[in-house]
Amino acid sequence: MAKIAQVIVDVPTMQTNRPYSYLVPSELADAVHPGMRVSVPFGKGGREVGGMVIGVDEQAQTLPTFSGKLKPLTALLDLASVLNPELLELSDWLATHTFAFRISTIQTMLPAALKTKSHKLLVADQSIADAHLAGLFTNGQLDFTAAKLAPNEVDQLAKLQQSGIVHADYAVENRAKVKTVTWVQSQLTTDQIVDVRPTIRANATKQQQLLDVLTTCQTPQPLAKLTENSALARADFSAAAKRGWVTLTERESYRDPYAQKDIAATRAMTLHADQAAAVAAITGAIESATPQPFLLEGVTGSGKTEVYLQSIAAALAQGKTALMLVPEIALTPQMVNRVRGRFGKQVAVLHSGLSAGEKYDEWRRIERHEAAVVVGARSAAFAPLDNIGLIVMDEEHETSYKQDDNPRYHARDVLLWRAKYHHAPVVLGSATPSLESRARAERGVYQSLLLPERINQQPLPPVTVIDMREQLKAHTESNFSTALLDALKLRLERGEQSVLMLNRRGFSSFVMCRDCGFVLKCPNCDVSLVLHMDTHTMKCHYCGHEETIPKICPNCHSRRISYYGSGTEKVAAELTTLLPDVRIIRMDADTTRRKGAYEKLLTDFGEHKADILLGTQMIAKGLDYPDVTLVGVLNADTALGLPDFRASERTFQLLTQVSGRAGRADKPGEVFIQTFNPDHYAIQLAQKQDYERFFRVEMKMRHLGNYPPYYYTALITASAQDENVAARRMFELAEQLKAQLSDTTVILGPTPRSIARINNRYYYQIVLKYKQEPHLQTVLAKVLDDAQKEQRQGLQVAIDMEPQSFI
């Protein structure tokens, strides 16, 4: 009976969530399983495209003619599934839930090495009896992707893999990235060695020694280990290979980005009462396999991380695995070392700083059950862990958990889904929970866990709000108030350290003509070009356009053109004139671009190589330095002016977060916030670090404005090169939606987006606010489907459920 594979094909211009059916050639009947990548003919021309098998059916006997119309799939790219049944199911749910196409959710789950044209290698672990099959291997390896194998060969290889004679490995296309080590496999049995001995000359001592080694090492061994433990060199093994005594194979080895350093092991601490209560509640849910979400609320330094670690230990003790998400920006070496210090080599780390090869290595360690604890940023939500016992999301309010590109998913939703699947509890932790999560805790959907006090009983540092309007009246235009400057001087005298934060937004660097006020704009977008001192060019942050820095004003030909370096660069320059001997470490997108730079700057600061750490938002999280006693925020309110209902929430969160950086150890800390809106409730309440009050006030504002968490939101965006095309389609769509959705749903727009033109495309948006909308799924799915057809007219439509930004 023939088998039929259901395949999601990868054709960018013809995306659909409908799988296509392909006949499975009979030779592959046993080898094809859901979760494997395949190559299939597609369309009229029969072009070969990639695809993912999501199901395999026995062909119904009642439809004998059906198979005649089906094309057979061309090739199987995997011998074992790369997506397990859980992740396949999740990809389906995610596509529906985020209005994305299934192929994009599938690709999001796979490491880049499996997305790009990776080569699959088969590595022989034992000798292969079948001479023909053995002949396919050179040096114990077969490039499965490059070799054009017949289906029956593939089938036989799959059987070899099942019986453990060969195993599969993938090589990222750039072979230079694959780290390999040489392995030695004896080709002589101990009996054969006894026979060989008399045939070699007595004075060939190296050969005798080599046979000694082979006598004790009959299983494959790394060459380095054998040369290290004997007087033999690589050349001796190469010579032995020529005689046929051994085979040498190159095996891919794991790249471990953290391997260089030995991390000191840490032990579980004796918990304080509140921590103990939290761990007990979480452990209870792990043991009873209850998918209960917890909201762990506690100020910075209240011991949340210790709660995560001991709860993870409880999951491991149950023989289960654990997944912990941290925001990219907080995935500092300090953070990673705390987890590795507790769980050692069982920990896999996934974040965007890793090379494709490193990521892939970590992914495989997880898949092969060599890592039971995964720590990572957003995309680690898809880590191929089995048997999950606990899921943790630290800093659950962070916006970086939402992907702002297709598929537009929120990692929190993914985690809640996986928790249900595995019957595992989820711990969402934060000092300043998102309003959505906190509201769910109020309603009892999440169980609240509180850590009201800091571990060291240190009070939160006193926060001084400085009214910069006064400053502006009294002084020239300086970034520093007298109070902050005095505080900095005091730290320098005492040999203590300070952290200064510059809100990135609204402080970008540009070029302006002092005669006519001309500002250099991007030719493709409605934004100013940004000055980059490292490359000495003007760049557009939206479309990547790049040009040289003008020396003459393009508008009035004046030479009086001023360059303003990056925000931090400018502030650093001012600081050096104000405090001549000060040592500054600058941390922003420019200084941390190179791999490892971020880590190095932080280490330097930790080793007191600077007095001041000056940076953008990236310094606000996770840092824990005992000698930092002063934190200054230079411009607290740039985010407040943004047309976004979450502006206050973001400002409050950021200020609370950064204030927590001061006075972590026994020295008391102090915080200064410079602002032009000293009376704004977000700033006032951040000064008092009063989350409770903030939550109440902000909930009232949201209620008045019909915003989340009282309403759900969806953002529909259309873009086209012709502004009329985008606008017209959106007006039509608004009419359509009005007719199809219920009366209680609010439809805002269409309006041009705040940056109306990017990369020569014009953007229009519609915002939906709804409470209960039974037709939403079908209506929006239709919008997406229609959009697929309209793509030919150059129109692109995107749907973003619960957008984190409306700008």
Binding segment (CB under 5 A) for Zn ion, from list 164-172, 206-214, 304-312, 555-563: 555-563
Q: CA dihedral defined by 190, 192, 193, 197, rounded to 10 degrees?
A: 150
The SS3 of residue 729 is helix
Backbone angles phi, psi at 50, to 5 degrees: -80, 160
To Zn ion, the closest distance from the beta carbon of 721 in angstroms equals 14
Closest CB to ligand ADP among residues 42, 343: 343
For ligand ADP, the binding residue among 298, 376, 425, 669 (CB under 6 A) is 298
CA–CA distance, 206 with 202 (Å, rounded to integer): 10
To Zn ion, the closest distance from the beta carbon of 758 in angstroms equals 7
Query: Shortest CA distance to 765 belongs to which of 806, 712, 708?
Result: 806
- Alpha helix stretches (DSSP H) within 19-150: 66-69, 85-98, 102-109, 112-115, 131-136
To Zn ion, the closest distance from the beta carbon of 545 in angstroms equals 4
For Zn ion, the binding residue among 116, 139, 216, 558 (CB under 5 A) is 558
Cis peptide before 333 (omega within 30 of 0): no
Closest CB to ligand ADP among residues 338, 440: 338
Question: DSSP class of residue 126?
Answer: S
CA–CA distance, 306 with 342 (Å, rounded to integer): 10
To ligand ADP, the closest distance from the beta carbon of 295 in angstroms equals 14
CB 745 within 8 A of CB 773: yes
For ligand ADP, the binding residue among 247, 249, 283, 305 (CB under 6 A) is 305
Per-residue b or e along 466-482, where b marks 16 or more CB atoms closer than 10 Å to that residue's CB = bebeebeeeeeeebbbe
To ligand ADP, the closest distance from the beta carbon of 380 in angstroms equals 19
For Zn ion, the binding residue among 66, 93, 510, 518 (CB under 5 A) is 518
Site for ligand ADP in 426-455 (CB under 6 A): 455
Query: What string marks each residue from 455 to 474 as x (binds ligand ADP by CB under 6 A) or -?
Result: x-------------------
Q: Is 524 in the site for Zn ion (CB under 5 A)?
A: yes
CB neighbours of 411 closer than 8 A, spacing ≥ 6? 325, 378, 381, 393, 401, 402, 403
Closest CB to ligand ADP among residues 298, 357: 298
Residue 543 binds which of ligand ADP, Zn ion, none (CB < 5-8 A, kind-dependent) = Zn ion
Closest CB to ligand ADP among residues 267, 443: 267
For Zn ion, the binding residue among 450, 556, 573, 807 (CB under 5 A) is 556
Closest CB to ligand ADP among residues 432, 745: 432
CA–CA distance, 121 with 146 (Å, rounded to integer): 9
Q: Is 17 in the site for Zn ion (CB under 5 A)?
A: no
Q: Is 503 in the site for ligand ADP (CB under 6 A)?
A: no
Q: Where are the beta strands (DSSP E) in 453-595?
A: 463-467, 497-501, 511-513, 530-532, 537-539, 546-548, 561-563, 584-587
Q: Is 233 in the site for Zn ion (CB under 5 A)?
A: no
Answer yes or no: is 543 a known binding residue. Answer: yes
For ligand ADP, the binding residue among 15, 302, 629, 765 (CB under 6 A) is 302
For ligand ADP, the binding residue among 304, 532, 621, 650 (CB under 6 A) is 304
Query: Shortest CA distance to 187 belongs to which of 251, 126, 228, 252?
Result: 126
**Which amino acid belongs to residue 609?**
K
CB neighbours of 34 closer than 8 A, spacing ≥ 6? 53, 54, 55, 56, 81, 83, 85, 88
Answer yes or no: is 217 a known binding residue. Answer: no
Closest CB to Zn ion among residues 415, 553: 553
To ligand ADP, the closest distance from the beta carbon of 605 in angstroms equals 17
Q: Is 306 in the site for ligand ADP (CB under 6 A)?
A: yes
Q: Is 271 in the site for ligand ADP (CB under 6 A)?
A: yes
To ligand ADP, the closest distance from the beta carbon of 282 in angstroms equals 15
The SS3 of residue 586 is strand
The count of residues interacting with ligand ADP (CB under 6 A) is 14
For 95, 768, 776, 777, 797, the CA distances from 741, given in Å and listed in that order, are 21, 10, 7, 11, 19
The SS3 of residue 609 is coil
CA–CA distance, 334 with 458 (Å, rounded to integer): 21
Q: Is 301 in the site for ligand ADP (CB under 6 A)?
A: yes
CA–CA distance, 610 with 652 (Å, rounded to integer): 29
To ligand ADP, the closest distance from the beta carbon of 190 in angstroms equals 54
CA–CA distance, 593 with 591 (Å, rounded to integer): 6
Diameter over CA atoms, the chain: 99
Residue 301 binds which of Zn ion, ligand ADP, none (CB < 5-8 A, kind-dependent) = ligand ADP
Binding segment (CB under 5 A) for Zn ion, from list 280-288, 548-556, 636-644, 650-658: 548-556
CA–CA distance, 639 with 646 (Å, rounded to integer): 10
The count of residues interacting with Zn ion (CB under 5 A) is 15
Six token digits for residue 375: 């720590």
For Zn ion, the binding residue among 522, 538, 619, 633 (CB under 5 A) is 522
**Angle, to 10 degrees, between the axis of helix 691-705 and the axis of helix 647-659?**
170
To ligand ADP, the closest distance from the beta carbon of 649 in angstroms equals 20
Closest CB to ligand ADP among residues 269, 807: 269
Six token digits for residue 625: 């330095």
Answer yes or no: is 513 a known binding residue. Answer: yes
**Which amino acid belongs to residue 611?**
D
> How many Cβ atoms are within 10 Å of 598's Cβ, its own excluded?
19
Q: Is 269 in the site for ligand ADP (CB under 6 A)?
A: yes
Q: Is 26 in the site for Zn ion (CB under 5 A)?
A: no
Q: Is 303 in the site for ligand ADP (CB under 6 A)?
A: yes
To ligand ADP, the closest distance from the beta carbon of 455 in angstroms equals 4
Closest CB to Zn ion among residues 659, 717: 717
CB 139 within 8 A of CB 180: no
Residue 384 binds which of ligand ADP, Zn ion, none (CB < 5-8 A, kind-dependent) = none
Closest CB to ligand ADP among residues 689, 717: 689
Residue 556 binds which of Zn ion, ligand ADP, none (CB < 5-8 A, kind-dependent) = Zn ion
Instruction: Give the distance from CA 731 to its chain's centroid.
Output: 36
**Which amino acid belongs to residue 157?**
L
- Alpha helix stretches (DSSP H) within 318-458: 333-343, 356-367, 411-422, 435-442
Q: Is 545 in the site for Zn ion (CB under 5 A)?
A: yes
CB 93 within 8 A of CB 417: yes
Residue 216 binds which of Zn ion, ligand ADP, none (CB < 5-8 A, kind-dependent) = none
To ligand ADP, the closest distance from the beta carbon of 313 in angstroms equals 14
For Zn ion, the binding residue among 192, 555, 751, 805 (CB under 5 A) is 555
To Zn ion, the closest distance from the beta carbon of 643 in angstroms equals 21
Residue 555 binds which of ligand ADP, Zn ion, none (CB < 5-8 A, kind-dependent) = Zn ion
Site for ligand ADP in 272-291 (CB under 6 A): 272, 275
CB 307 within 8 A of CB 296: yes
Residue 303 binds which of ligand ADP, Zn ion, none (CB < 5-8 A, kind-dependent) = ligand ADP
For Zn ion, the binding residues (CB under 5 A) are 513, 515-516, 518, 522, 524-525, 540, 542-543, 545, 553, 555-556, 558
For ligand ADP, the binding residues (CB under 6 A) are 269-272, 275, 298, 300-306, 455
Mark the binding-site residues for Zn(2+), compressed into ranges.
513, 516, 522, 525, 540, 543, 553, 556
Mark the binding-site residues, compressed into ranges.
513, 516, 522, 525, 540, 543, 553, 556
